[in-house]
Amino acid sequence: MTVTAAAPTRTGEVVAAVRAALGARLLGADEPVPGRLYLTVAPEATVPAVSALYAGLCARYVISVGVDRRAHPCGGFEVLHLFALDADHLRVAVRVPLPAEAPRLPSITPLVRGAAWAEQENRDLFGIEPDGHPDPRRLVLPDGFPAGLHPLRKDFPYDFKPPEDPQARFQPKEPPPGSTVVPLGPFFPVLEEPSQWRVFADGEAVVGADYRGFFSHRAIEKLGDSVLTYNQVVSLAERICGICGCVHSTAYCQAVEEAAGLEAPLRARLVRTLVLELERVQSHLLWLGIAGHIVGFDWVFMQSWKLREPLMWLAEYLTGSRKHFACNVVGGVSQDVPRAKHARALEALATVERETLELVQALQGDDALVARLKGVGVLTPDEARSLGVVGPTVRASGLPLDVRRDHPYAAYDLMRFDVVTHDGCDNWSRTLVRLGESFESVKIMRQCLDQLAVLPEDGLVAEMPEQLPALREGLGAVEAPRGEVFHYVMTGVRNGPDRWRVRAPSYQNLQSVPVMLKPGSTIADVPITLGSVDPCFSCTERMEVVQVASGERRVWTHAELLERSRAGRAPGEDA
Amino acid sequence: MTPSWPAAVLWALLGPPLLLGLAPFLDGLGRRIRARLHSRKGPPLTQGWLDLAKLAGKGEVRASADPLSRALPWVALAAATAAGLLLPVAGHAPLGFAGDGLVLLYLLGLSCVCLALAGLAGGSPYGFLGASRELLLLLFVEPVVACAFFVLALKAGTFRLDQLVLWQAAHGPSVSSVLAALAVLMALLAYLGKLPFDLSEAEQELTGGVLVEYGGRSLALWRWALFVRWLVVAWLAAEVFLPTPAPLALGVPLAVVKVLVVFALAAGAETLFARLRLDQARSVLTQVAFLIVFAVTFALIGA
């Protein structure tokens, strides 16, 4: 992986600034690889340290990671508040070591709003209490999960299912007086995914909202950091998302490569760049269709999905699958894009580019559509920064944040492209950003093919050593279609990660939706505003049948659903 | 023209089965047109009938035990069908009487009010919002159509539908009647309850809105009432506001073609727009209201 090193003086400045604020409470500063700075601070100094970075140096909040180090020497718990200084290509972690018994630290949410979920999650999964957090409710754990048990702790077996209290109920937020609750979900009507919004409405006017998600938490991190090996996790990471899985496997591989000191060969990095951009364009076209459907404009839905098909064909032609490309391995890629395939790939790109341009021109002249999107769902640049939103959501608020340019990975340091921004801060700007950057993606894909054509067709993987040293850390980030995907990996003593933390872009972006529903919004604006961040909830393959007469319930298995869904097809048709 | 008793009895007997039997065709036609504009193949033209048959065979979960809410879909269907019986064909309305135009408007309004009441009866917030949207849009659309009637009635000196048509056929179009027809066409999508004005049932915003609590046979009745309503409104626009003088033998097939063309144009226009927000729908319909005020003014000064 390419890491563009931060200027050493800048690293020094950051350390000096934090030391000035903390004095002796700054316990250590470590720069294991260029561009990565880990600052160890005492728990009581968490807020001043974060304040020095976030307020003083204008760092961007990324995520907070809880770690259980109790099994390791001098171990207890640990919380890492991760920040990025994007202009300086520098990532800074505030490491807060905590005792093994009753770990607690001051909440940073009053300072950084976007840290709310991460701190709630650390409380649920590790039992690390954020003192002064505004929301005492659970975020991830089911309502009936026994108190005092924290599944991501290392002494919690990955397959342990404690008995749940069937009486326990979630405490929803009380609606403001005079308003009624309009529920969207728990099975979201438009996106057909598990997510519940309780919109507080006074007639048509929206006066507030409460979100509840994590209905189908799949415990992917637990599986990855307790059972699977480094290369098995790659397949699991790819399955985090059904639309942009490759960004997760790439980010994970990059994190492990950083921890192991590996660098993927150039050819592998070009292949990664190519498939990542392919994934971006198909995701943006998919989003455009859904956005059209949300505002009742099904013509857009059908046309954008129709012109997305050549891209899906191209994905299958290059990787063997329309989705879940499965081309990443730690150290490189498993599949090449040989020269023989370039001509048809370029042809498909030309088709998609031409047809997308026609669609975009038609949409830009559509006054009724623009009227539905313009000035709706406003997120100001200040709000965007404090919530830590990423991707098109932040770029539509005028902030030119793009991991591809700010923290180059894969082969993006060799690519020429523009970071598309708009400053309308609304749903229309978010649409324009996605459409604009689709064309940039096509440009990048062409550059990848140009460079792949002149490179020798070998050297796809950098050999991984038999055993990685334990307790090394790696940070991997990819600019996914929805924004920065971030993976934290700490190597373990077994042949797999000891801690693997995934932060998908929707984790930050979803937190901004209640803020976007400004006074003056109506019920009609809610679905499209939520849709405008292109949220990605985890999907679920589960169906429960209830016989009304007898009250009998039965959950259908995956195999039964599959058989049922294929029943109408001729034999061999699905081959 | 005085209606003859045999024709009236024949139409009273044959009219309801004809209206009820043929109306579902419009659903298949509209969906086929939409599909073609979407670059899809689309369902068969019989899809409207197939859907009704499928829904009628399904079980039902009732949100409300209130007998009124069970009666509402029947009332809506009956009101829309009764409205259809008053429509003139080529200047002939076998069941026509003085003021039948006003009765027709009220019957159409009644089917909308039933729908709104149905939304309220279920007790769901989606239903409440859908009902309030339905009634608000009705308050904007109905005066437009009523004023358009008023314009024609002023010119012809009667509220009888068949005589309005015959008067227009005899005297040709005037400034006010053209403006009135234009206003009715502009409000047509809203009167049909189609996109971009289908706010009361907005699937993506209110998961079905007014009809969210209905399923099975009740939903089939609601759908059927909607199909009949489409037929009646398209017929009204085609025959009363866009009259074509022709003898009865030619007039009947001509009327059928005109109704299908009007409905097909509406179904095509529906695919061109994003759904309006309530405030946007209101401002579009306010502009139509201005147009109809002009039409009334012209009619009053005799133009």
pLDDT tens by residue, A354-408: 999 999 998 988 888 898 899 899 999 999 988 889 999 999 999 999 999 999 9
Predicted pLDDT of residue A539: 41
> Is the distance from CB of B42 to CB of B31 less than 8 angstroms?
yes
CA distance B167 to B147: 18
Q: Which stretches does DSSP call E strand in A50-122? A: 60-68, 77-85, 90-98, 104-106
Above 90 in pLDDT, residue B18? yes
Predicted pLDDT of residue A347: 93
Predicted pLDDT of residue A429: 93
Predicted pLDDT of residue A567: 60
* Spacing of C-alpha A55 from chain mean position: 24
Contact A296 B274 (CB under 8 A): yes
Contact A182 B273 (CB under 8 A): no
Task: Tell me what the mean pLDDT of segment A331-360 comes to.
Answer: 92
Chain B residues touching residue A185 (CB < 8 angstroms): none
Above 60 in pLDDT, residue A282? yes
Q: Does A362 touch chain B (CB under 8 A)?
A: no
Predicted pLDDT of residue A544: 57
Contact A297 B273 (CB under 8 A): yes
Contact B204 A293 (CB under 8 A): yes
Dihedrals phi, psi of A339, to nearest 5 degrees? -55, -35
Report the mean per-residue pLDDT for chain A.
87
Contact A294 B204 (CB under 8 A): yes
Q: Of A169-183, A196-210, A275-289, A540-554, where does mean pLDDT reach its minimum?
A: A540-554
Query: Closest to A524 (Cβ–Cβ): which among B38, B132, B278?
Result: B278
Secondary element (H or E) of residue A550: none
Reported as a single tens digit per residue, the pLDDT across A93-124 is 999 999 999 999 999 999 998 899 999 999 99
Predicted pLDDT of residue B166: 85
Chain B nearest C-alpha distance from A530 (Å): 12
Chain A nearest C-alpha distance from B256 (Å): 28
Which range scores top for mean pLDDT: A183-192, A209-218, B49-58, B202-211? B49-58
Contact A299 B38 (CB under 8 A): yes
User: What domains lie within chain A, and their CATH numbers?
Assistant: 8-134 (3.30.460.80), 220-532 (1.10.645.10), 541-575 (no CATH)
Indicate the pairing of strand A180-184 with strand A196-202.
antiparallel
Query: Closest to A180 (Cβ–Cβ): which among B125, B195, B272?
Result: B125
Three-state secondary-structure class, residue A189: coil
Testing the interface with A: which of B40, B272, B277 to mutate, by most A Cβ within 10 A?
A: B277
Predicted pLDDT of residue B171: 84
Q: Does B41 touch chain A (CB under 8 A)?
A: no
Helices A266-294 and A525-532 sit at what angle, rounded to 10 degrees? 180
Query: Closest to A296 (Cβ–Cβ): which among B40, B195, B207?
Result: B195
> Is the distance from CB of A540 to CB of A528 less than 8 angstroms?
no
Predicted pLDDT of residue A572: 43
Q: Read off the DSSP letter of residue A175.
A: P
Structural domain spans, chain B: 5-300
Report the mean per-residue pLDDT for chain B.
87
Q: What residue has token string 């999905």?
A: A305
CA distance A544 to A559: 14
Predicted pLDDT of residue A83: 95
Nearest to A174 by CA among A139, A208, A138: A208
Q: What residue has token string 């942009």?
A: A244
Q: Angle at Cα B294 formed by Cα B293 and Cα B296, nearest 5°?
A: 65
Chain B nearest C-alpha distance from A514 (Å): 17
Predicted pLDDT of residue A564: 66
Contact A204 B202 (CB under 8 A): no
Predicted pLDDT of residue A304: 93
Reported as a single tens digit per residue, the pLDDT across A376-388 is 999 999 999 888 8
Top-confidence residue, A571 or A452: A452
Our separate counts of H helices and E strands in chain B read: 12, 0
What's the first-to-final CA gap in chain B, in angstroms?
26
Contact A296 B279 (CB under 8 A): no
Chain A residues touching residue B215 (CB < 8 angstroms): none
Contact B206 A303 (CB under 8 A): no
Which range scores top for mean pLDDT: A441-450, B68-77, B235-244? A441-450
Q: What is the DSSP string of A265-304?
A: -HHHHHHHHHHHHHHHHHHHHHHHHHHHHHTT-HHHHHHH
Predicted pLDDT of residue A561: 64
- Which residue type is seen at B39? S
Chain B residues touching residue A303 (CB < 8 angstroms): 38-39
* Spacing of C-alpha A279 from chain mean position: 14
Q: Which of residues 296-315 of A touch B (CB under 8 A)?
A: 296-299, 301-303, 306
Q: What is the largest CA-CA distance in chain A?
A: 74
Task: Tell me what the mean pLDDT of segment A412-423 comes to.
Answer: 93
Complex-level ipTM: 0.84
Share in percent of chain B as helix, strand, coil (round to 5): 75, 0, 25
* Spacing of C-alpha A346 from chain mean position: 30
CA distance A21 to A55: 12
CA distance A302 to A300: 6
Contact A548 B280 (CB under 8 A): no
Reported as a single tens digit per residue, the pLDDT across A456-487 is 888 898 988 888 888 899 999 999 999 999 99
Secondary element (H or E) of residue B89: none
Residue of A nearest to B36 (CA): A299
CA distance A275 to B202: 37
CA distance A403 to A2: 13
Nearest to A468 by CA among A248, A231, A269: A231
Reported as a single tens digit per residue, the pLDDT across A17-61 is 999 999 899 999 999 998 999 999 999 999 999 999 999 999 999
Dihedrals phi, psi of B97, to nearest 5 degrees? -155, 170
Three-state secondary-structure class, residue A28: strand
Q: Could you give the percent of chain B with pLDDT greater than 90?
A: 31
Indicate the pairing of strand A36-41 with strand A26-30.
antiparallel
| Inter-CA distances, A212 with A62, A125, A185, A198, A200, Å | 21, 17, 9, 8, 14
Chain B residues touching residue A368 (CB < 8 angstroms): 196, 273-274, 276
Chain A nearest C-alpha distance from B142 (Å): 22
Query: Closest to B277 (Cβ–Cβ): which among A181, A303, A372?
Result: A372
| Inter-CA distances, B138 with A437, B111, B115, B278, Å | 43, 11, 11, 12
Contact B274 A368 (CB under 8 A): yes
Give the global pTM.
Answer: 0.86
Chain A residues touching residue B270 (CB < 8 angstroms): none
CA distance A92 to A105: 19
Q: Which of residues 141-200 of B touch A (CB under 8 A)?
A: 195-196, 198-199
CA distance A49 to A494: 34
Task: Tell me what the mean pLDDT of segment A310-323 comes to.
Answer: 91
Query: Closest to B204 (Cβ–Cβ): which among A190, A204, A299?
Result: A190
The burial of B169, by beta-carbon neighbours within 10 Å (0-12 exposed, 13-18 middle, 19 or more buried), is given as: middle
Chain B nearest C-alpha distance from A531 (Å): 11
CA distance B112 to A284: 40
Query: Closest to B274 (Cβ–Cβ): which among A180, A369, A527?
Result: A369
Chain A nearest C-alpha distance from B90 (Å): 37
Predicted pLDDT of residue A575: 37
Testing the interface with B: which of A190, A202, A293, A299 to mutate, by most B Cβ within 10 A?
A: A299
Contact B205 A299 (CB under 8 A): no
Chain B residues touching residue A302 (CB < 8 angstroms): 38-40
Predicted pLDDT of residue A288: 93
Indicate the pairing of strand A553-556 with strand A180-184.
unpaired
Task: Tell me what the mean pLDDT of segment B166-174 comes to.
Answer: 84
Q: Identify the band that residue A84 occupies on the pLDDT scale cut at 50, 70 and 90.
A: very high
Contact B277 A306 (CB under 8 A): no
Contact A299 B199 (CB under 8 A): no
Above 60 in pLDDT, residue A336? yes
**What does the block give as tokens for A392?**
């098109």
Predicted pLDDT of residue A8: 60
Indicate the pairing of strand A129-131 with strand A104-106.
parallel
Predicted pLDDT of residue A545: 62
Q: Read off the DSSP letter of residue A538.
A: P
Chain A nearest C-alpha distance from B207 (Å): 6
Q: Read off the DSSP letter of residue B98.
A: T
Chain A nearest C-alpha distance from B117 (Å): 17
Contact B39 A292 (CB under 8 A): no
Query: Closest to A182 (Cβ–Cβ): which among B129, B195, B271?
Result: B129
Nearest to A19 by CA among A31, A10, A29, A30: A29
In this complex, how many residue pairs, one in chain A and one in chain B, have their CB atoms less than 8 Å apart? 80
Q: Does B287 touch chain A (CB under 8 A)?
A: no
Nearest to A500 by CA among A295, A292, A239, A220: A220
Q: What is the DSSP string of B185-243?
A: HHHHHHHHT-TTS-GGG-HHHHTTGGGTT--HHHHHHHHHHHHHHHHHHHHHIIIIIS-
Q: Does A517 touch chain B (CB under 8 A)?
A: no
Chain A residues touching residue B34 (CB < 8 angstroms): 298
Query: Closest to B274 (Cβ–Cβ): which among A182, A203, A372?
Result: A372
CA distance B275 to B281: 9
Q: Read off the DSSP letter of residue B303.
A: -
CA distance A64 to B264: 57
Reported as a single tens digit per residue, the pLDDT across B100-135 is 888 999 999 999 899 888 888 877 888 888 888 888
Nearest to B25 by CA among B227, B204, B223, B207: B227
Q: Angle at Cα B133 formed by Cα B129 and Cα B135, nearest 5°?
A: 120
Chain A residues touching residue B206 (CB < 8 angstroms): 523
Q: Which stretches does DSSP call E strand in A300-390? A: 328-329, 332-333
CA distance B220 to B81: 15
Contact A522 B126 (CB under 8 A): no
Q: Identify the band that residue A3 occupies on the pLDDT scale cut at 50, 70 and 90.
A: very low
Indicate the pairing of strand A90-98 with strand A104-106.
unpaired
Chain B residues touching residue A298 (CB < 8 angstroms): 34, 38, 271
CA distance B146 to A121: 60
B245-254, Cβ contacts within 8 angstroms, sequence gap of 24 or more: B245/B91, B245/B169, B245/B170, B246/B90, B247/B90, B248/B89, B248/B90, B248/B92, B250/B90, B251/B89, B251/B90, B251/B91, B251/B92, B252/B89, B252/B90, B254/B90
Q: Identify the band that residue A72 occupies on the pLDDT scale cut at 50, 70 and 90.
A: confident
Q: Does A98 touch chain B (CB under 8 A)?
A: no
Q: Identify the band that residue A418 occupies on the pLDDT scale cut at 50, 70 and 90.
A: very high
Q: Could you give the percent of chain A with pLDDT greater than 70?
A: 91
Q: Does B280 touch chain A (CB under 8 A)?
A: yes
Three-state secondary-structure class, residue A512: helix
Predicted pLDDT of residue B244: 80
Q: Which stretches does DSSP call E strand in A115-271? A: 129-131, 180-184, 196-202, 205-212
Residue of A nearest to B200 (CA): A524
Q: Read off the DSSP letter of residue A332.
A: E
